[in-house]
Amino acid sequence: MKRIMKWVIAATLICCSVVDVSAQPTREQLAQIRVGKEGNFQYWQSNASSLAQLKDFVNAVTTEGSEQYVPVRDRLAVFDMDGTLLCETAPFYMNWLVMLHRLLDDPGYTPTDELRAFGEAAKAGMYNPQLIDREMDDRAQYVQAEIFKGMTMEEMDAWMMTFLEKPCEGIEGLKWGTALYWPMVEVVSYLVANDFQVYICSGTTQDMIRPLIQDVLPIGRYQVMGSECHYVPEGKAEAFGWETPVIMETYGFDDLKGQRTVRGLFKQKGTKWSKVDIMTRQLGQKPILTFGNSSGDYPMFEFVTTGNKYPSIAFCLLCDDVERELGNTAKADKCRKACEENGWVPVSMRNDWNTIYGPDVKIVPTSIQSTLHAPVQKTQSYTVSGIPATTSSRGVIIKKGRKIAVRQ
């Protein structure tokens, strides 16, 4: 009897360790999510039209003898990241939060007064995107490069792994290192099982993406494309930048022998049409499948589905779930309309998925998050760098009588 009881207890513990993925996942558990070649999805509604279209497309391009067959070497798929593979609303894009953590909360880094002031203005904008104009958004790319300048690739990896332990705001029990959408992890796994090469092309800096996906998604580090900085010899960190281009071949082995290779200044942002530029240069051919979630991905959709010598398809993820995710129905409606007009496949987070982050992850919106996506009202008050600031008109912050952010 004792032996039987011991066996039952042991079996129970084994079973619990297997199914514990239903709780808040670890990165190791996320890495275990697998969909075979036949498409045994668990986290999608079985009757979802978008899933059926994905399976039909994959079946057609992988069946030898089919008129739509695509050779393995040409089965390229490209995914956006923020809002497509990873949460982008807790409360904002991951690269923005990485920047703010470095500027405002990292005890190992001391920013200049100017950088700290930018960080605090950017934080105000994070909670009300109406306040982020093109100038601030572009400036953020330079700041993200500046604050990590001088780090090696390995040092950046290590720093990012500590950031990935940071909790997602407004989502109970979720960390940034596990904020991947379970159904999309399945999609990536399914495509890889069918001999697709899966790439990421994102506005987030590629050095931030690689540690996030490493050992979690079946995507190699070399398959990540995104916003980027120059990598330079340590003694030349200021020499190579977008505003002061220098031909790197100027420096030879004798000049730079023994120097570490480190992050330098900003090079390129990976959004909108830049995604097409990056894919064309780095892939050398058109992908046949793409996933995105916003107007910033529309150029990528158009590139993949227009003039392709192979069958091609574009999927647009709709952020229409406000119960299991911090969704935005207005944005979802715009994306759905764009899909209808252009022949792209809409994917509803609300209707097509059984879960998003797992059944035990709860949305707990904070009061400040309720301002996200809300229109800016006249005379609305903010604090920027500790100084009271108000909006005198839509999208304008006034600080010390000087306009520092505008959104038309």
Angle at 61 between CA 337 and CA 335, to 5 degrees: 10
Lowest mean pLDDT among 123-127, 176-180, 209-213: 123-127
Say if residues 326 and 91 touch (Cβ distance below 8 Å). Answer: yes
User: Averaged over 141-155, what is the pLDDT?
Assistant: 94
Read off the pLDDT of residues 270-324 as tens digits, 9 standing for 90 and up: 999 999 999 999 999 999 999 999 999 999 999 999 999 999 999 999 999 999 9
Does residue 346 lie within any of the structural domains?
yes
Mean pLDDT over the full length of the chain: 84
Does residue 289 lie within any of the structural domains?
yes
Q: Is a pLDDT exceeding 60 seen at residue 403?
A: no
Closest by CA position to 285, among listed 302, 303, 311, 299: 303
Q: Is a pLDDT exceeding 80 seen at residue 380?
A: no
* pTM score, whole prediction: 0.84
Say if residues 396 and 125 touch (Cβ distance below 8 Å). Answer: no
Measured distance CA(79)–CA(225) in Å, rounded: 10
**Number of domains forming the structure of the chain:** 1
Does residue 3 lie within any of the structural domains?
no
Does residue 144 lie within any of the structural domains?
yes
Band of residue 256 on the pLDDT scale cut at 50, 70, 90: confident
Say if residues 403 and 125 touch (Cβ distance below 8 Å). Answer: no
Pairing of strands 402-405, 313-318: unpaired
Q: Is a pLDDT exceeding 50 seen at residue 100?
A: yes
Q: Is a pLDDT exceeding 70 seen at residue 385?
A: no
User: Averaged over 173-200, what is the pLDDT?
Assistant: 97
Does residue 1 lie within any of the structural domains?
no
Assign residue 250 the CATH number of its domain.
3.40.50.1000
User: Averaged over 327-345, what is the pLDDT?
Assistant: 97
- Compute φ and ψ for 318, nearest 5 degrees: -95, 125
- Compute φ and ψ for 385, nearest 5 degrees: 55, 35
Does residue 129 lie within any of the structural domains?
yes
Does residue 81 lie within any of the structural domains?
yes
- The dihedral of CA 152, 180, 39, 61: what is its sign? negative
Structure tokens at 127: 């909670």
CB atoms within 10 A of CB 157: 16
More confidently predicted of 234 and 105: 105
Q: What pLDDT sits at residue 235?
A: 76
Domain that holds residue 308: 25-33+45-376
Structure tokens at 310: 């192979």
Of all residues in the chain, what percent carry a pLDDT higher than 70? 79
Does residue 83 lie within any of the structural domains?
yes
